């Protein structure tokens, strides 16, 4: 149950943005807000966000079985009853394999620091899944470092992108222009980009 230092640093700024989409008054409909987090990693974010947003029903997932154990341990240690047992999920596979989530049932789909350390087919799968599983008006929330319309800045992000591609040529910062295209192809639109600490961004995609 060892959270990366980055998760400790960024949980507060990310939560501040998430509150606008999953906090009280963010949705007009009654009842709980259904959230699916893909690539939940150690599980610190899932427990922290669900605790701060008690009206959510937070479903964490990851492709790594070791992560699932850590996610469950965090939820238990922090006594967060609205975190569901984590599920094994490969975002590059079709939504039919995503733990039984049905079409148009999610209010929020969350992906934090996944795109740049995964093959492009994972990003493509994320948008395909969002297009099917989000309710009309639902939100795909992504966070991380991005290229913006072909440009990476500052130099630290350029260096980071280079190091990622040296580790794995299929990795690297994804361009917001590409993400816009993937969104539009799956019935979403990029509604907002929020500048975040450490040269990251939060991207808000809305299901039409």
pLDDT of residue 29: 61
| Whether residue 16 has pLDDT greater than 70 | yes
> How do residues 85-137 score in pLDDT, each as one tens digit?
999 999 999 999 999 999 999 999 999 999 999 999 999 999 999 999 999 99
CA nearest 207: which of 125, 107, 115, 120? 107
Tokens of 200: 């990251």
Tokens of 169: 């040529």
> How do residues 135-180 score in pLDDT, each as one tens digit?
999 999 999 999 999 999 999 999 999 999 999 999 999 999 999 9
The whole-model pTM stands at 0.96
DSSP per residue, 34-89: EEEEES-TTSHHHHHHHHH-TTEEEEEEES-HHHHHHHHHHHHHTT-TTBPPPEE-
Phi and psi at 172, nearest 5°, equal 135, 165
Reported as type and span, the H/E element at residue 12 is helix 5-22
């Amino acid at each position: 149950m060892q959270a990366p230092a980055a998760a400790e640093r960024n949980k507060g700024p990310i939560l501040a943005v998430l509150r606008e989409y999953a906090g009280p008054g963010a949705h007009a409909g009654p009842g709980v807000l259904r959230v699916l987090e893909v690539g939940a990693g150690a599980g610190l974010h899932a427990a922290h966000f669900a605790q701060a947003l008690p009206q959510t029903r937070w479903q964490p997932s990851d492709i790594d079985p070791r992560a699932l154990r850590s996610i469950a341990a965090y939820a238990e240690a922090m006594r967060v009853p609205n975190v569901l047992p984590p599920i094994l999920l490969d975002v590059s596979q079709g939504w039919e394999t995503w733990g039984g989530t049905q079409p148009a049932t999610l209010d929020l789909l969350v992906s934090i620091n996944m795109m740049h350390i995964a093959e492009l087919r994972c990003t493509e799968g994320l948008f395909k899944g969002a297009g099917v599983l989000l309710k009309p008006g639902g939100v795909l929330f992504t966070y991380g470092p991005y290229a913006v319309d072909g440009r990476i800045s500052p130099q630290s992000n350029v260096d980071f992108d280079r190091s990622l591609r040296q580790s794995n040529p299929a990795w690297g910062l994804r361009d917001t222009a590409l993400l816009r295209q993937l969104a539009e192809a799956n019935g979403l639109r990029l509604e907002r980009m929020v500048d975040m600490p450490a040269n990251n961004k939060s991207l808000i995609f809305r299901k039409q």
